Structures are given as structure tokens and as C-alpha cells.
Structure 1
Amino acid sequence: MGFTSFIKSKQFFFSLITAVIIMGLLVFGALQFLNIYTRHGKEIAIPDLRKMKVENAMGAVAENGFEIIIIDTVDFNPKYPPLTISDQDPKPNDAVKQGRKIYVKINAKGYSSIRLPNLDGRTLRHATAIIESLGLKKGEVIYEPDFAKDVVMRIEQDGRILRAGDKVLKNSKINLVLGDGMLGYKPEVDTLGEMYEDVAPEIDSIF
């Protein structure tokens, strides 16, 4: 039987139909397997784990097969209790599949300490910007006699003079002692008034 005759035969036609059916069944089976393997349509809302201790959070997600992974300990945030979860990924109420890993960040036990830079001779504006960038707060501004105005003479905290390199806790207040610009200042003299005051007694004495 020639090739042309074969493709026109019923045997070829039935073989082609059988091959198409088999391929269709294989594709259908593969899709069903993928749906089952990926748990298609069976998504679960992530609970809000913030403000929870890690061990408590693990218990809260265990039944859904979630795994908690700690990725970092961040600077202390007063909005969250110490050593509790302050951030999570996926976010609360996100819909995910069972068994998903949840990455969390832990709030530090307390404020960390930093070393002070040298602020002597800085202007009030510049010193304030540096303090705030370090996570500190500007406290009282105290003026003392000095030639320069609004320039830092020293910094203090709780009555203690601080120097460059000293450690202080973040979020604490730093008091700034500034010059008032009045040292060596001499007000202008009213020359005409002084002359009148000097001459006036002599004029009075004539009469």
C-alpha cells in the first residue's frame, strides 16, 4: 500500500483520531495535576501577626502549614511591644496558598545608642538637622553670653555636658547651649545727649 493510499484509508483516520484523543487526555490530566499540586482556588487569608511574639505567631499559623521566617530585627518602634513582630510579608489579609512562608521583622528590645558627632560651632539650624537625622530630639535651647549668635557652645542632657563620641539613646532629648551674640556689644551712644548732660550743670550754675 502506497503512502497516498494509506493516508486515505480508514486505518489512518482511526489512528489519527486515537492520537488526538490520547493527547487531549494527557493535557487534561496534566492540568488537573497542576491544579491539585498548586491547590488552585484554595487560598487562605494571612492573619495579622503584628504585636505578637514569634512563638505565639507560629502557633497561630501552624494549622495552615505556614512557616515563619525571621529576616531582621529593626530599630525599636514604640508602637509595638519589645521583641514582637513589627512587619510581615505577605501583609495581613493577603490571600495565599497553604504552606506559604511568612517573612517577619522583629521590634528591638529598646532604643539603641548612638555616638554623638562634634556639634560645637554649628549653627542652631545645622545642629538641629544633625540631631534629628540621628533619631534624637531637640530639647531646651539655652542662651549664654558669647560673641556669636545662635552658634552651639556645648550640648547637655539631664544636666550632664556631652562631648563628641559620647553615647546617647535614640529618641532622647538633647539640650543646646547657644551664644546670644551680646558679648562685647556696645550700644550706640547718643553724643548730643551726652554733651547736653555735661553742659547742663554749668548753665544751671550761672543762674
Structure 2
Amino acid sequence: MQLKNFHHKYPVLFHLILMTLASGLILMGILFGLDIYTRHDSSIVMPELRGKDLKEAERLLSSHNLRYELVDSVYDKSLAPGVVVEMVPQSGNTVKPGRIIFLSINARSARKGIVPDLKDMSGRQALAILKGLGFEQVTERYISGDFVNLTDGVELADGRNVLAGTRLPITTPLVLRVINGYAPLPADSSLIDESITYGSSQDSASGKAEEENSESWW
């Protein structure tokens, strides 16, 4: 049977066959395109970047047809500034060419925080606020005052006062001045002895006066 006769005799079936063939060709084209896009036949083992300078890491990634993006910075004084401290994906993982690698580097200086106004807050609350801002080296120094356990202010380790709103590296040691009431005054034994002596003298004098009065009555 000729194709033309088949088309005229079975038009519905003929069109179904054409649609099936067209769908198959489209599906094959999509799969072929995805295979090219995802590069199933090529993969790269992630090199180790941690501890390397950012420029060196960039050259290494470029040689492997990889890209990078900085997503975070931390401060570790034991590491050189600008080196890679973390990477995603990790070294040794298999990735596709053109993949973006996310890097965290060591900052050149510590992150800074603003010291808030902590006066008249409780010592515990003031300490929690400073810790929440990233200040880790915080101690307390107790001073005399009327209101127990209230914060009087913030100072540096050398005693210099820190005003509210001051921007400092979060590694700066800070000291909270916390009011701890008044210290009891030491007892002065000389005053006690004098009062006892004075009281004894008064008792002796009054006793002699009573004896004289009783003798004069007789």
C-alpha cells in the first residue's frame, strides 16, 4: 500500500504516527541538549583551596574551568589575612566544569561592633548584649554605689572609659563596671574603747555623788 493511499484511507492513524515520530525526535533533541549542558561525560575533582591566598585560589579554579564567589569572611589571628578558610563543595568532590565554588576568607582585621548604652541595665543583661554583638572578652569590675547589680558603664582593660556608640574591634577586651552596693565600714576599736571608758567614768562619778548624799542625810 502506497503512503498516499494509506494517508487517505487511515487519516487518523497516519496523523497519530506522525505525532509519535515528532515527539520522539523532540525528546531526543532535549536529552541531547541536556547532556551537552550538564556535561555528563566530563567532571572535575575539586582541588584543595583552604590555606591558599585568594589570588592563588582564583588561578587554580580558573585552570580547572571553575568560578568562585565570596560568601563570608571570618577573623582568625592565627591565619594570614586573605587566605581561604572554607569552601563549598569540599576538596575531593566531583563537580562539573563552570561550577561556582563558594569561598570564605580570613579578614584582614577583626570585625567591629558598636558599644551600646548599657548604663543602668542589670549586669547580666549588659553582659548578654555585649556577647550577642560579638564581644567575647568581657569581664566585670564591681564598684560602690546605691543601686546593686546595675551597670555603671564600660571601660577598656587599662581603665579608659568607653562612650556609648564607640566602634571597636570585637576582639577588644572590655570591662563592665557593675555596682555592688557599699562596702561595710571597718569597726574602729579605739572609738569603742573610748565610749566604754567614758561610760565607766560616768558610772563612778554618779556612785560617789550618791554616797555623799546619803552621808549628808544622816
Normalised-by-shorter TM-score class: 0.5 to 0.7
Answer yes or no: is 1:43 the counterpart of 2:43: yes
Aligned-residue Cα RMSD (Å) equals 4.0
- Cα 1:165/1:34, change in 2 over 3 Å: closer
For residue 114 of structure 1, what is the aligned residue in structure 2? 113
For residue 132 of structure 2, what is the aligned residue in structure 1? 133
Over residues 106-126 of structure 1, what are the superposed CA-to-partner deviations in whole Å (9 max), with x where a residue is unaligned?
332111332211111111101
Measured in 1, the distance between the counterparts of 2:150 and 2:30 equals 76
**Is the Cα contact below 8 Å between 1:152 and 1:176 reproduced in 2?**
yes
For residue 190 of structure 2, what is the aligned residue in structure 1? none
- Cα 1:21/1:139, change in 2 over 3 Å: closer
Query: Secondary structure of the equivalent of 1:74?
Result: strand
**Is the Cα contact below 8 Å between 2:137 and 2:171 reproduced in 1?**
no
Query: Identity of paired residues, percent?
Result: 23
For residue 176 of structure 1, what is the aligned residue in structure 2? 176
**Is the Cα contact below 8 Å between 1:50 and 1:87 reproduced in 2?**
yes
Instruction: Choose 134-143 or 113-122, whichever is displaced more.
Output: 134-143
Measured in 1, the distance between the counterparts of 2:22 and 2:179 equals 92
Structure 2 unmatched ranges of 5 or more: 8-13, 186-195, 208-218
Question: Aligned ranges for residues 4-153 of structure 1 at < 5 Å?
Answer: 6-7=5-6, 31-32=31-32, 34-70=34-70, 72=71, 74-78=73-77, 80-153=79-152
Query: Secondary structure of the equivalent of 2:150?
Result: strand
Structure number with larger C-alpha Rg: 2
- Cα 1:40/1:144, change in 2 over 3 Å: same
- Cα 1:120/1:92, change in 2 over 3 Å: same
Structure 1 unmatched ranges of 5 or more: 9-14, 187-196
- Cα 1:133/1:22, change in 2 over 3 Å: closer
- Cα 1:36/1:172, change in 2 over 3 Å: same
Over residues 141-176 of structure 1, what are the superposed CA-to-partner deviations in whole Å (9 max), with x where a residue is unaligned?
222221122221222113211121223211222112
- Cα 1:64/1:149, change in 2 over 3 Å: same
Q: After TM superposition, give the deviation of residue 57 of structure 1 in Å.
A: 0.8
- Cα 1:25/1:117, change in 2 over 3 Å: closer
**Is the Cα contact below 8 Å between 1:128 and 1:138 reproduced in 2?**
no
The letter of the residue matching 2:94 is: A
Structure with the higher fraction of residues in strand conformation: 1
Measured in 1, the distance between the counterparts of 2:2 and 2:40 equals 50
Structure with the higher fraction of residues in helix conformation: 2
Measured in 1, the distance between the counterparts of 2:180 and 2:51 equals 47
Count how many residue pairs are aligned between Structure 1 and Structure 2: 186
Query: Secondary structure of the equivalent of 1:111?
Result: coil
- Cα 1:2/1:82, change in 2 over 3 Å: closer
